[in-house]
């Protein structure tokens, strides 16, 4: 299903977390399994210049995401679910970058999960109302890093990947148990 099994039979999963944005698109790859220490594989931020046409910026994001998918071969992709904010120009750019991320993953047949910001905050910090600093501090702690990943888009991408490993792994176990017992949801 996902990645190779570990010695104890747990399933290792490699997830590319994407914090979509037109100016800054966070990318973070995390590997691990539920209940085991997680490992940072890589993290970065794709940047595009606001003085370039939107279509050109989206092509830059697409190429960057494709390169990461090629290089890191994730088992799944976790993307922040776009939600309404007060600034409609921000929503549009985020939604466009999110769509590009989903298309890149779908072309490869990869599972795609959308996680809301509050789901991610709750998963990594225990509170759906955590601020950026709290999320960043928990990402640093969970991945046993020496320093906080910067900018915040990088930490957010890692938080998305962590959330998916923890939630996706748990969901995979539930699905497997239901399949063993012939149950359906």
Catalytic residue among 19, 31, 75, 156: 19
Residue 70 is a catalytic residue? no
153 is annotated as an active-site residue: yes
Q: Is 153 annotated as a binding residue?
A: yes
8-state DSSP, 165: H
Structure tokens at 116: 């809301």
CA dihedral 124, 127, 128, 129 (to 10 degrees): -120
Residue from 119, 153, 156, 175 carrying the catalytic annotation: 153
Catalytic residue among 31, 75, 80, 156: 80
Q: Per the annotation, does 51 bind a ligand? A: no
Is 71 known to sit in a ligand binding site? no
Alpha helices in the chain (DSSP H): 54-72, 88-107, 117-125, 132-142, 152-180
**Residue in 46, 15, 19 with CA at minimum distance from that of residue 33:** 15
Instruction: Show which residues are catalytic.
Output: 19, 80, 153
Binding residues for Mg(2+): 19, 80, 153
Binding residues: 19, 80, 153
């Amino acid at each position: 299903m996902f990645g190779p099994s570990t010695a104890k039979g747990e399933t290792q999963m490699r997830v590319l977390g994407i914090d979509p944005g037109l100016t800054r698109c966070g990318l973070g790859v995390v590997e691990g399994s539920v209940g085991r220490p997680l490992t940072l594989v890589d993290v970065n931020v794709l940047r595009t210049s606001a003085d370039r046409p939107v279509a050109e910026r989206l092509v830059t994001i697409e190429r960057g995401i494709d390169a990461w998918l090629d290089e890191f071969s994730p088992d799944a992709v976790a993307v922040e679910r776009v939600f309404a904010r007060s600034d409609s120009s921000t929503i549009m750019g985020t939604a466009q970058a999110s769509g590009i991320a989903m298309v890149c993953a779908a072309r490869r047949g990869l599972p795609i999960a959308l996680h809301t910001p509050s789901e991610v905050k709750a998963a990594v910090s225990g509170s759906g109302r955590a601020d950026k600093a709290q999320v960043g501090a928990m990402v640093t702690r969970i991945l046993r890093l020496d320093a906080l990943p910067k900018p915040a888009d990088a930490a957010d991408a890692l938080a998305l990947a962590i959330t998916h490993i923890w939630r996706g792994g748990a969901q995979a176990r539930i699905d497997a148990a239901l399949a063993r017992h012939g149950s359906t949801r």
